[in-house]
Structure 1
């Protein structure tokens, strides 16, 4: 029997929602029908993988044979029989159905370390993880290294926390290790609350064992015997796969009183969060684990001294822990050679918005923002003009076109008025109103504020009220100065990171797009044709190319158009939904 052919089917959340389960069932049916799987020497192995990044193109299927790996995208169940017949039986890949060249560019432009297993292995299989040197790192630590040596190795690697703050990971571990006490805790922050961010979720869905091993290594290094993974309850698939992995590790002896027979004790459990954004802040997270309302606590004392239930605790996020096994296996020097002087290794970004290929990308720290958007993600949707990218989640800032060559590292992004955050990049084109964007993100952070401290509770509401007035055409002279004063005060006086960073979208857009704010306030005009109350709602005749795209998009038949004729907008029928504006590639609608 020939060597087994692998059929890798993306079954992360995106893949399943696109129909991956039906595609898998059809592959199983056709393979059995054609006798391609036998009890001895399987011809075809179907592997249910996690997310591989290009989520907009699901269902993604890889067929791996002796000729290499061929990727098919947008696969539907009705196509499976033809793919099996042509590619597997006849041995000829279907050239017309292969993923377009941009897919290879999307993958080749990345440097996958943390996500090296995602999309490649069966996330629910311990054997698959072991085949990628799984649990070799924790074994190496216990057998050949003292706890302090493990911490020192992480320090030398230059790994910084990937949850947003960027604090040196090894240094953080050393603080907790130095704190007296027999009871210490390792906590993984998987409460990923940024709109559009799903980096941690994809790791949990695609390679949960790497998180378990990373937390075990941290536990060995600081002397902790128990770990919590705090996951938002809106991640059912991630929770299910992680729980299965934990259960298997207990069953096989990788967790418990005598892990792997090495005399190391380590236990783990999952704590589901209720979806409060503020619980991404470490002291609020610990309060939630303890059964209290998730509200930040004053610091000091810091968690490394008095954390969970007043015991020394170390908190990192999923991506941080997922880096650790690679550092131990390959050495600190190897990891430190990747990235920049101040930001080592790679960073995963969730790229969304007005970009051609949305999804997850893992790139070396220091790659320019321009390269991420244009080289990895294919550029701006509909070839429109790039306007800005919002980096760092709802508390990040906006980077305009003139500084698009900013490297993606902690210090460069902060200097540009943005932040690395957990890794969200929201791309905006010329149709995006920066005032409206600021209002959107401030609405989110204001709603998610716990309300404990006055600057955040009252200040964000005051800023939001001003932004609402401006976008409705009721802006007043002095509004911008008030926004700047409020934002600066809130950043300085708020208790936790939510309030300290929430004004960033407003302050950065005023810094780079002040003329757009002034147009709203002085001219009562939205230059990006986005704020409904300020729009003219008319078709510009000399820009209209008579294509009819606007009529096809209108849900209420308010566009009058005939082939070869300029379109006309009936204002009596128009509901101002902006469907026509979004459909017009020629900016002919004001």
Structure 2
């Protein structure tokens, strides 16, 4: 037996799963029928009791977020699905929406009913045009079948769903920047409070949830709270998609209970590529502090990963073997963050720019040991001091790589450049 728990990915091998008929053949939309027979507040309490935590990175309890909506606010309520997946290494929501768009739509319908919203938005990264087309077709089919629109399944509940294509900005993955973009403004983070639950989209009460979070709701309604809490850990319940990429034999999506270890996942994925060994890895994408081989048995749940010095994030497990230059990898990540910084706050705008220059200087062989202190000083001015979490995320790979591979940084100084043969290195496809 394997510890995999295929729920969202259970029927991905069906060639017609993305169609309405294919999804219904697997029991699709039966959870919606069940949900509409219950009181909305009952569904909110069910999601709270399940312990479902946000699958977009922060891990905030989903039901608790729903419960923050003020009951006395006369303005309309909105549900916004954050499908602006753009973190380097994160690649779970796009295949989920491509393989099974209707499970997301069913989750949207149930969640909207639970929070008493009659208008929902799915904000999708504009570059994934194939996903946008598939989602819009799925929405059209759901409308035609009476699963969206007026009087859904004869329940009296009305819901309109809009699929919105973003314009390709990483910062719009931050929920308030996403809301600004959705309103037609430049995507920049808002000052909080007020939080979206109080004044979100169009200054109205708004819930913003990740694709996987919303797509997990139908299975909870269909199978019950005890079924969901039987998986995972006490404080990190349920299952999740773990995205293995990089120097691994069989990269892909592995759906497993939270608390599984990278060692177990690698065993199922055929291990690190033949003839090589693990050097470092990210537990949750490039914005989380890196781990090394000593963390192979760290349970991949929110509490355990945090206690070990990183964050579970989006469970984007990027695997790097011994051919990888950690300085170069960090430099490429920071080049991304410098490019994607919205420029609103000085620490992030300036800090990422200067870190990119310093890391490039080290890679060329023009750096000094003092540059390591300079990098850590910049990170200190980024961490907790930027307007949103982009600054924190950018500081993470630099600080952790210096922590675990300080000598490799020094080797760049003492050897007058990168000690690795870039012709053999496959980081970022070997492109310098």
Structure 1 portions without partners, runs of 5+? 1-104, 533-577, 583-590
Matches within 5 A, 1:339-350: 339-350=232-243
Determine if the alignment matches structure 1 residue 244 to structure 2 residue 137: yes
Determine if the alignment matches structure 1 residue 389 to structure 2 residue 281: yes
**Partners in 1 of 2:268 and 2:186 — Cα distance?**
41
> 2:35 maps to what in 1?
141
The verdict on how the C-alpha distance between 1:424 and 1:179 changes in structure 2, with shifts beyond 3 A counting, is: farther
Mean Cα deviation higher: 360-369 or 172-181? 172-181
The verdict on how the C-alpha distance between 1:256 and 1:197 changes in structure 2, with shifts beyond 3 A counting, is: same
Report how far residue 413 of structure 1 moved. Answer: 2.1
> 1:99 maps to what in 2?
none
Report how far residue 219 of structure 1 moved. Answer: 0.9
Correspondent of 1:294 among 187, 198, 203: 187
**Partners in 2 of 1:279 and 1:376 — Cα distance?**
34
User: Which digits, 9 at most, give the CA deviation of each residue in 1:302-337, with x for residues without a partner?
Assistant: 000000010110011111111000001111111011
Report how far residue 237 of structure 1 moved. Answer: 1.8
**Partners in 1 of 2:230 and 2:408 — Cα distance?**
42
Report how far residue 177 of structure 1 moved. Answer: 5.5
Checking the alignment, whether the CA contact within 8 Å between 1:257 and 1:264 is kept in structure 2 is yes
**Partners in 1 of 2:405 and 2:343 — Cα distance?**
30
Correspondent of 2:6 among 112, 115, 121: 112
Checking the alignment, whether the CA contact within 8 Å between 2:364 and 2:417 is kept in structure 1 is no
> 2:347 maps to what in 1?
455
Correspondent of 1:360 among 253, 261, 269: 253
**Partners in 2 of 1:378 and 1:160 — Cα distance?**
29
Report how far residue 419 of structure 1 moved. Answer: 2.0
Number of residue equivalences: 426
Correspondent of 1:435 among 320, 327, 351: 327
Matches within 5 A, 1:378-417: 378-417=270-309
> 2:404 maps to what in 1?
512
Checking the alignment, whether the CA contact within 8 Å between 1:123 and 1:241 is kept in structure 2 is no
> 1:91 maps to what in 2?
none
Report how far residue 474 of structure 1 moved. Answer: 1.7
Matches within 5 A, 1:565-576: none
> 2:54 maps to what in 1?
161
Checking the alignment, whether the CA contact within 8 Å between 1:148 and 1:221 is kept in structure 2 is yes
Correspondent of 2:116 among 223, 232, 239: 223
Q: SS of 1:238's equivalent?
A: helix
> 1:95 maps to what in 2?
none
RMSD: 1.7
> 2:429 maps to what in 1?
none
User: Which digits, 9 at most, give the CA deviation of each residue in 1:470-520, with x for residues without a partner?
Assistant: 111122232222212211220111111212221100011111111211222
Matches within 5 A, 1:522-541: 522-524=414-416, 526-527=418-419, 529-530=420-421
Report how far residue 418 of structure 1 moved. Answer: 2.7
Higher-RCO chain (CA-CA 8 Å, sequence separation at least 6): 2
User: Which digits, 9 at most, give the CA deviation of each residue in 1:14-34, with x for residues without a partner?
Assistant: xxxxxxxxxxxxxxxxxxxxx
Q: SS of 1:181's equivalent?
A: coil
